[in-house]
Structure 1
Amino acid sequence: MADTGTGADTTAFPATPAPRKASWRHIGPGMVVAATGVGAGDLVATLIAGANFGYTLLWAAVLGCLVKISLAEAAGRWHLATGRTLFDGWASLGRWTAWFFGVYAVVWGFVYGAAAMSSSALPLQALFPDVMDLEWWAVACGLVGLVFVWFNRYAVFEKVMTALVGVMFVVTVYLGIRVTPNLGEALAGLLPVLPDEKDSVLNTLGLIGGVGGTITLAAYGYWVNAKGWTDTGWMKVMRLDNRVAYATTGVFVVAMLFVGAELLHSANVAISSGDKGLIQLGDILAAEYGTATAKFFLVGFFATSFTSLIGVWHGVSLMFADFTARQRGGAVSARGEEVAEGRHERSWAFRGYLLWLTFPPIMLLFQGEPFRLIILYGVLGAAFLPFLALTLLWLLNSGRTPARWRSGVVSNSMLVIAGLLFLVLCVKQIWDQPWSDVF
């Protein structure tokens, strides 16, 4: 077994005996993936969909949750059924997967670090405008995230993420109820109807694909192992955990679509895409319902953004640590147990990637984002989900997975739908890039 740790005690997070039946008291990794996957950008996209189309695309937001359930379940099932991590599975498909993930992790992490810090800083600056500038709020958020993940193991990390999910849930449900949704129109919005507007198909696909997570879906299997779930005895618990996660995600996005439909669509109010759209929503809420509601919303905005930050700081660093261990020739038979024992969290690769997510991106906060790097970031980000969906389809229908745990008709159908959906969105993203300005 590869020595990826620092010599510290490796029994802090041993694999635990599986329960006889699934129970709510066991859930945890699902809350982590829900909190990490739903960022400010997801809420804005759903808000804008509600503002532009009312309740028409409610069905698309729900379908997006179902698609992501299938991807996260497949990632968790691979970890539990094989005892190997997802990167071990990718490596078995060929060296090209290592090249793709290595380039992706470096470029994506550099740009995402700055985006996550800025997103977490926006609501703090709105709440405390006279304390310091946005850039310094962003730096503070990045450093707090770094220190928190560096010095805490998964158990503490999960508890904090679950608490922040509670804040997100209360705020979004309160807003969804506060705007007094038209339940008749909302129920009609569950029928799969496309808006009668140009590019409605691509807009709808974008909403489906944008609900709840990108690389964090792949990280779900690592969090499952970190929880101490390392064998098939935990399969029912994992599936319950995953469904609860995306039911929670569904509540978030449906509530924000209600807000968009009732508060913005009816008044024909437009907001900006991206995180600044939520700051504009805060101003609209202040004018409509008072300052207290606006501040309450900004607290939820911060919880949404900061959970995405620390979730990526932890989950993608786990994946990168596993990636480097595999490149160094570490044993793969007990990799899931290594994650459960906390070895990866103490490794130089885990902490090195934490530093990569935090310090180099600070330069982008003060100097602006390099154009060509942003183009590459967009292309790699668009390519990751079709890569994930199609490789999971491959892995879970091959001899690499025990026959009992291979994908059935429903799982395969959802993985195919996910793969095709994200492939279309990937092509659109690549097509929309301003290539003439690059060369």
Structure 2
Amino acid sequence: MTAAADAAATDSAGRPPKWRVVGPGLVVAATGVGAADLVATLVAGAKFGYTLLWVAVLGAVIKVVLVEGAGRYSLATGRTIFEGWRSLGRWTTWYFAPYIVVWGLVYGATAMSSSALPLVALFPDLSLRWTAIVIGLVGLVLVWFGTYAAFEKVMAVLVGIMFVTVVGAAVLTTPNLGEIVLGLRPIFPDDSIINVLAIAGGVGGTITLAAYGYWLREKGWATPAFMRVMRLDNGVAYAVTGIFVVAMLVVGAELYYSAGIAAETGDQALVQLSDVLDDRYGEVFGKVFLVGFFASSFSSLIGVWSGVSLMFADYVGNLRDLPSGHPDTRTGGRYFRAYMLWLTFPPMLLLLLDEPVGLILAYGTLGALFMPFLAITLLVLLNKRRAGALPHSAVPDEWRNGWLSNGFMSLCAVLFLALAVNELRNVLEENLPFW
């Protein structure tokens, strides 16, 4: 069904079709849950067993709140999230411009490498560098020539593969249900605060959270009539996300923590996990998990190629004073495709060369600041009564934040500010030895 058909498929009361309630939410969740998120929960399970299970659940709840806020703003106002940021003043544009340029350059290389790694583990004769380049080109072609409806179907297939492999790995370990229940108690073991922050803040969360409103628009869900279906879509998607991260923590607790095996860091941790599954249950299970690892990484790649390209296209459209929703700013538009090229080809140079320290510093700094930026600006946008610099950007009274939303968003802002401070310190320590 096309976006136009989705938009038209309402009953006589103008209500959206309740049987088509999973779409953009599943896309944003699958895009956000990449290899890094799976590694973070795997390592936490390996270090602390089930003790931090409650943090994984909290992380999924936090993302539900933020993504619901981004979706609610878009549906209630008919404006994109960037139009909302623009209404807060020029400073948001000054931050967003360097962020999306630098982030896209480094992320493109990272996503291609992460997607290539499981394929190289499956087929050792392949070159990691050239496999990554081919995967980047495949992702470009899929999103360049595809419609949003086709893109959503591809993402659903990848999520299905992830679900079978990741959850299957957890079931295979025959988890201790009693310890799982105990893991829901809010306990902080010694030296775990950084792990707590990493899991709670990293359960499927980057700039792609802000892309949710754009995918709603591409789907055809563009008015307050879709508010209920948006919330259900978002809730189902992040319930699936929560299952993913809980499954990885279970795997870490059962296969690593109980056996006293130290988990590696970075994407290599997932390759190591396939080896552990090979040793424990046979080669078939390790190979199947690598397929799930690829699905997780590749879904993030094409999700960014779509969602962040829409954000960039909207940014350029705003600077050029194009009307909201102009074809140049939508899927397949020229600004959309221009950013896809930026995500694909310049990052290939980083795959061929050593990444410069200055670029990594900029990426780490700007990236650490984005999630607090999103949480704080959503708090402002969903509470303010005036439109500010941009007409019609104020949220109607019935869709503004209540006390519960404000409480959770404030918690998000504090959490992400703490994560930002920790991330900035790590970036400086790793790249500036004298720091």
**Range class of TM-score, shorter chain:** over 0.9
1:312 alignment partner in structure 2: 304
Query: What is the deviation of 1:346?
Result: 2.6
Q: Secondary structure at the match of 2:186?
A: coil
2:275 alignment partner in structure 1: 283
Q: Map of 1:37-436 to 2, 5 A cutoff?
A: 37-130=32-125, 132-195=126-189, 197-198=190-191, 200-332=192-324, 335=325, 338=326, 344-399=330-385, 400-432=394-426, 433-434=428-429, 436=432
Q: Secondary structure at the match of 2:20?
A: helix
The alpha-carbon distance between structure 1 residues 181 and 249, as it changes in their structure 2 partners (threshold 3 A), is same
How many correspondences in the alignment?
421
Query: What is the deviation of 1:15?
Result: 3.6
Q: Secondary structure at the match of 2:221?
A: coil
| Matched letter for residue 169 of structure 2 | L
Query: What is the deviation of 1:206?
Result: 1.8
Output the CA distance in 2 between the equivalents of 1:370 and 1:350: 27
Query: What is the deviation of 1:153?
Result: 1.3
CA contact (8 A) 1:13 1:227 kept: no
CA contact (8 A) 2:9 2:17 kept: no
Q: Deviations over 1:134-192 (max 9, x none)?
A: 00110011000000100011000000001110110111111111001000011000010
The alpha-carbon distance between structure 1 residues 61 and 11, as it changes in their structure 2 partners (threshold 3 A), is closer
Q: Secondary structure at the match of 2:264?
A: coil
* Runs (5+) with no aligned partner, structure 1: 1-9
The alpha-carbon distance between structure 1 residues 14 and 112, as it changes in their structure 2 partners (threshold 3 A), is same
Output the CA distance in 2 between the equivalents of 1:165 and 1:104: 28
Q: Secondary structure at the match of 1:267?
A: coil
CA contact (8 A) 1:127 1:298 kept: yes
Check if 1:36 corresponds to 2:31.
yes
| Matched letter for residue 398 of structure 1 | K
| Matched letter for residue 111 of structure 2 | A
Query: What is the deviation of 1:331?
Result: 2.6
Query: What is the deviation of 1:384?
Result: 0.3
Output the CA distance in 2 between the equivalents of 1:189 and 1:270: 20
| Matched letter for residue 182 of structure 2 | A
CA contact (8 A) 1:51 1:264 kept: yes
- Tell me the TM-score normalized by structure 1: 0.93
Q: Deviations over 1:248-294 (max 9, x none)?
A: 00010000000000000011111221111101111111111111000
* Runs (5+) with no aligned partner, structure 2: 386-393
Q: Secondary structure at the match of 1:205?
A: helix
Query: What is the deviation of 1:24?
Result: 4.2
Output the CA distance in 1 between the equivalents of 2:215 and 2:328: 11
Output the CA distance in 2 between the equivalents of 1:133 and 1:94: 47
Output the CA distance in 1 between the equivalents of 2:384 and 2:418: 25
The alpha-carbon distance between structure 1 residues 203 and 14, as it changes in their structure 2 partners (threshold 3 A), is closer
Output the CA distance in 1 between the equivalents of 2:16 and 2:75: 16
CA contact (8 A) 1:226 1:342 kept: no
CA contact (8 A) 1:18 1:234 kept: no
Output the CA distance in 2 between the equivalents of 1:140 and 1:61: 34
- Tell me the TM-score normalized by structure 2: 0.94
Output the CA distance in 1 between the equivalents of 2:56 and 2:314: 33
